[in-house]
Amino acid sequence: MSELFPRKQVMGFVFSLVLTAAALTVYFMDLSFAVGMTVLLVTAFVQAAVQLVVFMHAGETDDKVAIYMNIYYGVAIALVTIFGTLLILVWDM
């Protein structure tokens, strides 16, 4: 039975619960906007990385480079789009 619950994945699950709990501090504690956003950004991206590496096995084949390049590229353009849009329509309007 225990072979069905590999240590790496169980730890990954526990870690993701811990990260969720950490993110919740912004709700239960009275943090400033800057600190709160920092906490959320860190927990969310670490959480995403855990999913990617531990659960999705992104790096297990020869296509590792293509897969990571694809994800990094997508995330970079996503961030450019989000922050660019905010700059144009909210911050600098």
Partner 1 sequence: MKIDNTLPLEYSTEQNRMNVLGFWIFLGAEVMLFATLFATYFTLAHRTGNGPSGAEIFEIAPVLIETFLLLTSSFTIGLGVHAMRLGRKNAMIAFFAVTLLLGLAFLGVEIYEFTHYVHIGAGLQTSAFTAILLTTLGTHGAHVTLGLFWGLFIILQVKKRGLTPETANKSFIFSLYWHFLDVVWIFIFSFVYLKGMM
Partner 2 sequence: MDYFDRFAIPHPSPAIYASMVAIGLTVVAIIFGLTYFKKWGYLWREWLTTVDHKRIGIMYLISALIMLFRGGVDAIMMRAQTAVPDNKLLDAQHYNEVFTTHGVVMIIFMAMPFIYALMNVVVPLQIGARDVAFPRLNALSFWLFFMGAMLFNISFVIGGSPDAGWTSYFPLAGNDFSQSVGTNYYMLSIQIAGIGTLISGINFTTTIFKMRAPGMTLMKMPMFTWTALITNAIVLFAFPVLTIALLLGTMDRLFGTNFFTMTNGGMDMLWANLFWVWGHPEVYILILPAFGIYSEVISTFSRRNLYGYKSMVGSIVIISFFSFLVWTHHFFTMGQGPLTNSIFSITTMAIAIPTGIKIFNWLLTMRKGSIKFTVPMLYSVGFIPIFTIGGVTGVMLGMASADYQYHNTMFLVAHFHYTIIPGVVFAMIAGLTYWWPKMFGFMLNERIGKWAFWFIAIGFNVTFFPMFFTGLDGQARRMYTYSEATGFGPLNMLSFAGAIVLMIGFALIVYNVYYSTRYASRNISADPWNARTLEWATHSPVPSYNFAITPQVNSIEALWDHKKKGQPLFSGPIEKIHMPNNSGVPFIMSCIFFVWGFSFVFSMWIPAIITTIGIFVCMAHRSFEKDDGYYISVKEIEDTEKECEVQSR
Residues near partner 1 (CB under 8 A): 3-6, 9, 12-13, 16-17, 20, 23-24, 26-27, 31, 33, 36-37, 40-41, 43-44, 47-48, 51-52, 54-58, 61, 63, 66-67, 70-71, 73-75, 77-79, 81-82, 85-86, 89-90
Nearer to partner 2, 38 or 81 (CB): 81
Does position 60 bind partner 2 by CB under 8 A? no
Q: How far apart are CB 75 and partner 2 at their closest, in Å?
A: 10
Cβ 19 vs Cβ 46: under 8 Å: yes
| DSSP per residue, the chain | -GGGS-HHHHHHHHHHHHHHHHHHHHHHS---HHHHHHHHHHHHHHHHHHIIIIIS-TTSSTTHHHHHHHHHHHHHHHHHHHHHHHIIIIIT-
Does position 63 bind partner 2 by CB under 8 A? yes
Q: Which residues bind partner 2 (CB under 8 A)?
A: 63, 66, 73-74, 76-77, 80-81, 84-85, 87-89, 92-93
